[in-house]
Structure 1
Amino acid sequence: MTTKEENIRLIFGLKLRQLRMEKNLSLSDVSKASGISISYLNEIEKGKKYPKANKIAQMAKALDVSYDWLVSLQLTQNLSPIAELVKSDLLTNLPLEIFGIELGDLMDLVSNTPSKISAFISTLIELARNYNIGVENFYFSVLRSYQEMHENYFEDLEEIAEQFTQAHPELGQLPIGQAPLRQILAQTYHYEVEEFDFGKYPALKSLRTVLLPGRKPRLLINANLNDTQKRFALGRELGYCFMKIQQRAYTSSWIKIESFEQLLNNFKASYFSGALLIPRQAIVSQIRRFITYRQWREDKLLGIIEMFQSSPEMFAHRLTGIVPKFFGLNQLFFLRFIHQKSSDWFQLDKELHLAGLYNPHGNMLSQHYCRRWVSLNILKDLDVLQNQALGGPELLIQAQRSQYFDSENEFFCISLARPVRPAHQHNHSVTIGFLMNEAFKKQVHFWNDAKIIVRKVGVTCERCGAADCAERVAAPLIYDENKKIEKIQEGLSQLKKDFGV
């Protein structure tokens, strides 16, 4: 792999800093010996500058090393994990600015305590290898953290979507249909939009869209998608165009993530599409009316979804940003589970947590998610209905109050389940759960509707100590181990007390 210029600067800076510290020299000492200014040396050590050959020769002489050794990309053994990290492009692709961090600050931390940081990085690399966590997993985690930091609401993207709508009066009528979206792509951005049978290419049949770039871009849309999915795909493509995004993926599903910027841009275009198809003012007014009902009305919720002709996922995801911003209810989570039909296999493949990670979350290392959650039960119910009647319902909606066995926390969960398109062997459920605090109970009038099921829940079977649980599918191994450790600690405390320690 070719080492990028920025990575070469970082490695050179690390090497210079390490060598200087090993010789117990200050920047001022090296400056006097080499004739290079302190400020320039500081820029080099931070990886911001790469010196010319004559400057490198001056530094090599001042530090009593060879020119060739100084310019080589080899670091000492204790810094080799850091070199591996730098060469992987992870550092240079990290969106540090999102978190208010400069790369130089990170490099300062690395170079100030190289041995400790190197050991820490070695541990992270080992964990990543053991649990098959790649750079792409890391990027998705960073994006999720970015969304959670902003409570999944982005004012700039909301305004851009509104500007686009204002520029195209034909989009003023809800729900927005495919026709005006296709027309804008064709007339304004010179696209050819074509419904395509990906079945001719078996490896591609799960893709929703493929863009063939060129002077006249061609957007191929999977003919098996439903109307809602096609409108979302068109809206996302318009987002790419209107925001003039160049660094992007050309398929709807990720084949390979080239950089975090590419992933972030996909999120921006998708957010634009959601804000375009479900305008914030319209959904706020609908939700404000909905939460005043004294009884849980899933038919009314279904009516709102149908008003926008939205998919369950787009609607629930939109709520995760709208509700905290306009209703102040920011203690919530979003989960998407996938279920293989006629099986007991469930996978959590998308999540957001604005209420901490106490709720089910990904990478549970093959643990079994609690079968008492509405997210899983609604999928079981949908599976049964599909087996009873050809096809079954297109959308199922359920609500549940979930109380944790070992906590006072209670969440009001709304779950929506549907078949997966264009694939047919799986179903999806999306769940949005709100912490039932006083703010929630004050605003949501149907919170104590007697018709809503109240269930005690855990996170996973392995972590749950519930006795005689009919839904348990795995032994409480982690729970038992934690209890064993607690008893040992209690015993040690009693031992010390008895001996007056």
Structure 2
Amino acid sequence: MIEEEYVRLIFGLKLKQIRIEKNLSLFGLAKITGLSKSYLNEIEKGKKYPKRDKIILLADALEISYDQLVSLKLDKNLAPIGEILQSRILKEIPLDVFGIKESDLIDIIAEAPIKVNAFISTLFEIAKHYNLTRESFFLAALRSYQEANNNYFDDIETQVEKFAKAYSLDLNKRLSLVDLEEILTDEYGYIINNEELTQHKELNNLRSVFVPTSKTLLVSSETDDSQRMFIYAKEIAYNFLNITDRLYTFSWIKFESFDQVLNNFIASYFAGALLIPRKVLVKKLKSLFEKKTFTPQDFLLVMDEFTDSPETFYQRLTNVLPKDFNLKNLFFLRFNFKPERGDFQLTKELHITNLLEPHANELNEHYCRRWISLKTIKELAETNVNHVFDSQISSYNHTDNEYFVISSATKDPFRKGYYRSIALGIMINQHSLAKISFLQDETLKRMKVGVTCESCSILDCAERAAPPKNLERKARFSQTDNVVKDIMNKYK
């Protein structure tokens, strides 16, 4: 069944279409029906559905039957809109997050329904060819939301400060696991179980499960203190921010709506801001950025003051660097790697501004093996140490873009034989050079890189994992085109 709001929208669209076909303005229709122009406008926008006597009045004025006006059957011009409405795709798209009203989008579609429907259908076809799932769509929408806000959310930062004040937590000091656990158990009535998850081999990849009916938080005994701190901080966020539409597993297994994806992000952001307070971090980073040379020890000392989790720390950097240093040309990547499979899987990415390198690729191409994030994860797998850190300036061969990239690789504690790396890239430009003194250090390692092997023009690359088939195909097409042009000129 079509929802009531869609019935209103369809009626309004039909009324508008018939009015235009009759060469009537809203003013003109209002004059011959005695209905106000504002009332008719609200009907056409789908905000109101007229009563029976008003529909009869409109049908008579437009010289059509009552049944024709109220029927949900649409003619060929409006049929594409009906398909879109009944497909519920507009309910899947989180329009409100981007400040878009559904009625405004309907108005756009109504102006040229056949062309807009064809455009939307084209997007769907592209999505299918790029193997984009519903989950991929929601996560892409979330990334766009983060990027639109430079991944900084002042309202969440404020809530963290309110929470710390309410519970007398000193954000100038590293929080303790005991403090967060006491808040969960004493304030929010949680029961924490550390044994249940380990009894189910199917749940080895989960860090926690929350059972809302009994407020039982099942935490894997395999979690270290940093992971447990993050889990506790996320649970505190859900409670302090009164979030009820949420995910109950960490990592997530499935989600029912975009709201759950967004709320998971909000809780994670809150947790990161609580564990790594912004003001203290900014102070430490300013001291680091004033140094003339970059050493891994300096960076790792700053990270160790807050957390043992590189991912939590790198994620937090994507919040404060755009806000407090105006460094908005950033990217964040997370890769997973299993040596037996030999492929590197990009499992998380964020670009604070668009059109940066590297970018997501859904066609199973081979990411550039010269990236520092792939080098660290491979080195970790070969040396079997706990943490590999490295950095380099990456110069992209097909653009003039350069990035200072740092990367940390660690074992995946929940998947035996898997490794993961986190990378943060800062574009090198006049602004970043002014903010970060060590970027001018001539001794920093530099590397010419591509995006994927299939699209890379670096021919003498010892790390190449696949031939440049995309460039080769492009070259063949160019040669064919040139020959055709020559023939055209010969016989014109």
TM-score by length of 1: 0.89
Change in 2 beyond 3 A, CA 1:42/1:397: same
Correspondence for 2:456 among 435, 458, 464: 464
Change in 2 beyond 3 A, CA 1:345/1:54: farther
Alignment-mate amino acid for residue 262 of structure 1: Q
Contact 1:336–1:348 at 8 Å: present in 2 too?
A: yes
Change in 2 beyond 3 A, CA 1:65/1:281: same
Q: Provide the residue aligned with 1:249 in structure 2.
A: 247
- Please show how residues 409-448 of structure 1 align to structure 2 within 5 Å: 409-448=401-440
Contact 2:198–2:220 at 8 Å: present in 1 too?
A: no
Q: How much does 1:473 deviate? A: 1.6
In 2, the alpha carbon distance for the partners of 1:58 and 1:138 equals: 45
Contact 1:171–1:180 at 8 Å: present in 2 too?
A: no
In 1, the alpha carbon distance for the partners of 2:187 and 2:206 equals: 26
For the residue of structure 1 that corresponds to 2:194, the secondary structure is strand
Q: Provide the residue aligned with 1:260 in structure 2.
A: 258
* Mean Cα deviation higher: 64-73 or 197-206: 64-73
Q: Provide the residue aligned with 1:283 in structure 2.
A: 281
Alignment-mate amino acid for residue 287 of structure 2: R
Structure 2: state its 5+ residue gaps.
none
Correspondence for 1:367 among 362, 365, 372: 365
Contact 2:307–2:313 at 8 Å: present in 1 too?
A: no
Change in 2 beyond 3 A, CA 1:35/1:281: same
In 2, the alpha carbon distance for the partners of 1:413 and 1:451 equals: 15
Structure 1: state its 5+ residue gaps.
387-391
Q: Provide the residue aligned with 2:4 in structure 1.
A: 5
* Cα-to-partner distance string for 1:213-269 (whole Å, 9 max, x where unaligned): 13x522222222221111111111111111111222222233333322222221111
In 2, the alpha carbon distance for the partners of 1:297 and 1:170 equals: 32
In 1, the alpha carbon distance for the partners of 2:391 and 2:403 equals: 10
In 1, the alpha carbon distance for the partners of 2:421 and 2:71 equals: 53
Change in 2 beyond 3 A, CA 1:468/1:195: same
Contact 1:274–1:314 at 8 Å: present in 2 too?
A: yes
For the residue of structure 1 that corresponds to 2:349, the secondary structure is strand
- Please show how residues 43-442 of structure 1 align to structure 2 within 5 Å: 43-60=42-59, 62-63=61-62, 70-77=69-76, 79-172=78-171, 174-214=173-213, 216-386=214-384, 392-393=385-386, 395-442=387-434
Change in 2 beyond 3 A, CA 1:77/1:411: same
Q: How much does 1:490 deviate? A: 6.6
Q: How much does 1:63 deviate? A: 4.8
Q: How much does 1:134 deviate? A: 3.5
Contact 2:272–2:316 at 8 Å: present in 1 too?
A: yes
Q: How much does 1:350 deviate? A: 1.2
* Cα-to-partner distance string for 1:340-379 (whole Å, 9 max, x where unaligned): 2343211112111134334122233111111111111111
In 1, the alpha carbon distance for the partners of 2:465 and 2:77 equals: 46
Change in 2 beyond 3 A, CA 1:168/1:424: same
Contact 2:333–2:349 at 8 Å: present in 1 too?
A: yes
Alignment-mate amino acid for residue 294 of structure 2: W
Q: How much does 1:417 deviate? A: 1.0
Q: How much does 1:488 deviate? A: 6.1
Contact 2:403–2:427 at 8 Å: present in 1 too?
A: yes
Contact 1:372–1:457 at 8 Å: present in 2 too?
A: yes
Q: How much does 1:413 deviate? A: 0.4
Alignment-mate amino acid for residue 200 of structure 2: Y
Q: How much does 1:33 deviate? A: 5.9
* Mean Cα deviation higher: 27-36 or 461-470: 27-36
Correspondence for 2:474 among 467, 479, 482: 482
Alignment-mate amino acid for residue 439 of structure 1: H
In 1, the alpha carbon distance for the partners of 2:208 and 2:44 equals: 45
* Cα-to-partner distance string for 1:479-501 (whole Å, 9 max, x where unaligned): 223344555667788899x79x9
Contact 1:82–1:121 at 8 Å: present in 2 too?
A: no
* Mean Cα deviation higher: 4-13 or 465-474: 4-13
* Mean Cα deviation higher: 321-330 or 76-85: 76-85
Percent identity of paired positions between Structure 1 and Structure 2: 42
* Cα-to-partner distance string for 1:47-71 (whole Å, 9 max, x where unaligned): 3233444544554555555655555
* Cα-to-partner distance string for 1:107-155 (whole Å, 9 max, x where unaligned): 1111111121111112122223343423432222121111111111111
The alignment of Structure 1 onto Structure 2 pairs a total of residues equal to 491
In 2, the alpha carbon distance for the partners of 1:492 and 1:33 equals: 63
